[in-house]
Each structure stands twice: as structure tokens, then as C-alpha cells.
Structure 1
Amino acid sequence: MSMTPEIRLDDRRVLVTGAARGLGESFARALVAAGARVVISDVLHERGQALAAELGEAAHYVPLDLLDGDSIRAGVDAAAQALGGLDGLINNAAITNSGGKTMDELSVDTWDRVMDVNVRGTWLVTAAARPHLAASGSGRVVNIASDTALWGAPRLLAYAASKGAVIAMTRSLAREMGADGTTVNAIAPGLTLVEATEYVPQARHDYYMQGRAITRAQVPDDVNTAALFLLTRGAGFVTGQLLPVNGGFVMN
């Protein structure tokens, strides 16, 4: 059951990538509940359209494929047109693909695909959104990283490396986009109970729970509040930062 956000984002216009399911869907729901208007973008067209219809007038669906530069540019521009501009972007879309494989078992094709989606895709979406966010005067970018990049999760090499790149890229983007009045921050969630983590063995879930300062399973609402805060106008002097949201499994 989703909690009603205490943070308000009334009339803020936000694009969320990979929002048709999982953590992205949770972001979209929380944003609408907080008063924002949202574009759900994904390659899962039927699910994205259904979610937008369910959320009502505050939500729109726009197809966007992170492997296709033309799709990215068209999708971001369509999102800005649908909302009358953009105040926020959550770069949530990502793939794992390498789960369970050792460094010796991992294929070059898998490595390249993970990097193309998770790193290049995040860069290209942000670049396409930059002029729209700059026009807002209070643009906010939230990149979804992962705490796997912080503690060095084994058998997840490509994914962990890609999320480490997203963290580093966040800092450079923050410096490049600061003059626009746009902030760029990253959140590093721990293992969260969503569709995308259903393949994860129970032993890994148990390992996380036992290692957390808050010893319970992590749910999407744990991440939503952090993302909503970073999208507010009031977070305008917070930029280039990494916020681990993992119950204290990894601490800065």
C-alpha cells in the first residue's frame, strides 16, 4: 500500500523514464499524489499507456527507447510539449542483464548493452532535456544509481559498473548544468521489492536485510520521498550529491 507523500510538488512537470513498471511506476504514482504532472516514458507501451490512463489527466505516456538516440530526442520533446515544459527529470530506466554471472562468464555484448542503456541513455536523455529544464529556471534531475556500486556487489559487474558511472556523471552534469539553475543529484537505492528484482535469490534479500541498520525489506515508498524532495524548488542548493537510500546497508 502506497503512502500519501507529505512533500508537495503542485504543478511541477516531471518526466520519468522506465516508468511503466517497478520503481519507475512507483515514482509516477507518488508524483501524481504529490500534485505533479507526469510523463511516463518506456518501451513497454501497453503498460505505460494503461498506467497513464489510470492516473488520469495529470499523467501522459510517451514512448522512449534508451537505445535509440532519435527516440530519446523525440520522446523528451514530446514530454515537454505534453506538459508545457519540464521542471524535473528522473532518469530511472535501466537494465541489469548481467545478474548472476561472474566476470569470466559475462559476455561483451551484455556489457555493451548494459552500458548503452544505463550510461549512454542517461546522458542522452539529460542532454535532450537540458534546454527544457533550463527554461524552467528551477530544473531538477534525479539519477537513479544503485548501492551495488558502493559496496561492490559480486556477480553483477556490468550493472554495478554502469551505476558507478551514473554516480560520476551526476557530478559532472551538476557542474555543467548549474549555470542553468538546474540541479543534478543521484539516489542509490538498496535492493528494493519491485518486479525487476523478483529474479534475485532469497539469500541475497536476506543478506541485505541482515546488513541494514533498519532490518527490514526495502519497498518503493522508501525511495519515493527522497526523489520527491530532490525535485522540489526548495532543493535548489543541493546538487552533485549522492544519497544512498538503503536502510543503512551502506553509509557515507
Structure 2
Amino acid sequence: MIDWSTEDSAPNNGKVALVTGAARGIGLGIAAWLIVEGWQVVIADNDRERGSKVAKVLGDNAWFIAMDVAQESQVVVGIAEVLGQFGRLDALINNAAIADAHNPPLESLELNRWQRVLAVNLTGPMLLAKYCAPYLRAHAGAIINLCSTRAHQSEPNSEAYAASKGGLLALTHALALSLGPDIRVNAVSPGWIDTRDPAERRADPLGDQDHAQHPAGRVGTVEDVAALVGWLLSGNAGFVTGQEFLVDGGMTRKMIYQ
């Protein structure tokens, strides 16, 4: 488990990663992991107060910018800030999302709610890829899109979230073909991940039943996702692009009959 303070981080490797939605949860876990691996990480989030606090805790290799990824003008300004501060960009991790998987029943689903979910979860990653591409290309960079196992499986009343993540998965392989060979693009699709801060996890642990239903024997952690992202950004994954990696403890392979 990662301690969000990174006093033991590796020396800066000179590479810069932009992680959206990194003020909490999976995005925060990815940011902390990359800092330990020596990356300079730009934390982008629309929660200014928490984002600033998180960057301070993570240390000198973290830098916060405010951004609503669904607003093209904010994406343009934010990327300009990153280039002005660091002069380069090596990785884009599209993690920002409206993470509520459930919407009202279809007959009651308001169009503006549907459109907002798709704007953040799907249009945002497209905008970021569009405006980051020239700078990623200059350094043979990579894009990681955080999708979801809900691109493959659903519960009732989850149309907006499922559609956004299914679209993001398709966007991933489309970008891989459009931006290759200079930029690699892959997707990571988490299942049930305990996204709470470490102190909350320790204070209120999940139950045995939560863990036992997974073929891997436990619910996932943000570190499980972050470790895979770190590998996909490394030279060891240089032959990997256009792919989806499921991090779900085996749940999507499990037959469930009631």
C-alpha cells in the first residue's frame, strides 16, 4: 500500500505525466506510484482545494492545475501551463470521470445528465489526446485511458456510465491507430477497486464476503491499477498498443447463476 507522502521517491527521471482526476481515488494512486518511480506528475482536477492539498502532500514532484476536462478552453489552458512549467509531456493518463455508475431508470433519465457523463468520461479524453498529441509525439509518449469492466457488463440503470466507458474503449484503439507509431495508447479497465484513502481503508475494512466473491480472493486496490499503468508507461511495454487490460480479480470470467 502506498503512503501518499513520497519521501522515498526515486530521483526525478526527467519525464512528465499528466494525470486527470488525480485528487482522489485511482488517479491519486497512479500519481503517487509514478512519483515513486521518478516521474514529475501534473495533477489535474476540478477540485481545487483537495487537488492543491494532495500536490503538497505528494511533494516536489507533484504539481496541481485546475481543469474541467469537458471544457475545451480549460484543456487548452491547462496543457499550456504544463508546457510552460516543464517544457515537455511524456504521458497522459485520462482518469477523470463522473464515477457514479447508476442513473435514473431510462424513462426518467434527463438528457443533460446523459450529456454531462459523456462529456466528462468520453469527450474529455478525446480533447486531452487531441491537444497533448504534438507534445507526446515529440518524446514517443503514451496515453492510458481508464475505462471500466462496465464497458463489457452492466447492472440495470447504468446506461450513461456504461456507454461512456464503452465509447472510451473504442476511442482507445482508434487513437492507437491514428497516433502510432509515435504514441502508444492503451486502456486499463478496473473492476471493484477500493478507492478510499489508506486511512479510511484501515479504519473501515471491507468484509470477507466482499473479498471472497473474487477469484483472486480480494477486492482490488488503487495500487493494483497504478502498478499496471506504471508498466504500460515503461519501456518494457514498448510493443503494446491499442489494448485493454482488465484489473478485476477475475470477475469478468466468473459464471454467476442465481
TM-score (norm: length of structure 2):
0.86
Match of 2:83 in 1: 80
How far is 1:98 from its partner? 5.4
Partners of 2:94 and 2:143 within 8 A in 1:
yes
Aligned match for 1:235, one of 237, 248, 251:
237
Aligned-partner SS, 1:115:
helix
Partners of 2:103 and 2:109 within 8 A in 1:
no
Aligned-partner SS, 1:185:
strand
Partners of 1:9 and 1:31 within 8 A in 2:
no
Q: Does 1:182 align with 2:183?
A: yes
Partners of 1:191 and 1:208 within 8 A in 2:
no
**Once the two structures are superposed, what CA deviation does each residue of 1:129-172 show, in whole Å capped at 9, x if it has no partner?**
00110111x21100000001112233222101100000000000
- Percent sequence identity is 36
Q: In structure 2, how many angstroms separate the alpha carbons of the residues matched to 1:225 and 1:149?
A: 21
Aligned-partner SS, 2:194:
coil
Match of 1:247 in 2: 249
Q: In structure 2, how many angstroms separate the alpha carbons of the residues matched to 1:25 and 1:60?
A: 12
Partners of 1:67 and 1:117 within 8 A in 2:
yes
Match of 2:194 in 1: 193
Alignment map for 1:1-252 (pairs within 5 Å) = 1-2=1-2, 10-97=13-100, 99=102, 101-136=104-139, 138-179=140-181, 181-195=182-196, 209=211, 211-251=213-253
How far is 1:211 from its partner? 4.5
Aligned residues: 243
AA aligned opposite 2:160: A
How far is 1:208 from its partner? 6.8
- Say which one has the larger Rg: 2
TM-score (norm: length of structure 1):
0.88
Aligned-partner SS, 1:250:
helix
Q: In structure 1, how many angstroms separate the alpha carbons of the residues matched to 2:166 and 2:35?
A: 30
- Of 183-192 and 46-55, more deviation after overlay is shown by 46-55
Q: What RMSD in Å do the two structures reach over aligned CA positions?
A: 2.7
Q: In structure 2, how many angstroms separate the alpha carbons of the residues matched to 1:225 and 1:146?
A: 16
Partners of 2:21 and 2:96 within 8 A in 1:
yes
Q: In structure 2, how many angstroms separate the alpha carbons of the residues matched to 1:76 and 1:207?
A: 44
Aligned-partner SS, 2:251:
coil
How far is 1:66 from its partner? 1.5
- Of 107-116 and 163-172, more deviation after overlay is shown by 107-116
Q: In structure 1, how many angstroms separate the alpha carbons of the residues matched to 2:95 and 2:111?
A: 24
How far is 1:52 from its partner? 1.3
Q: In structure 2, how many angstroms separate the alpha carbons of the residues matched to 1:97 and 1:222?
A: 21
Unaligned 5+ runs, structure 1: 199-204
AA aligned opposite 1:76: I
Match of 2:203 in 1: none
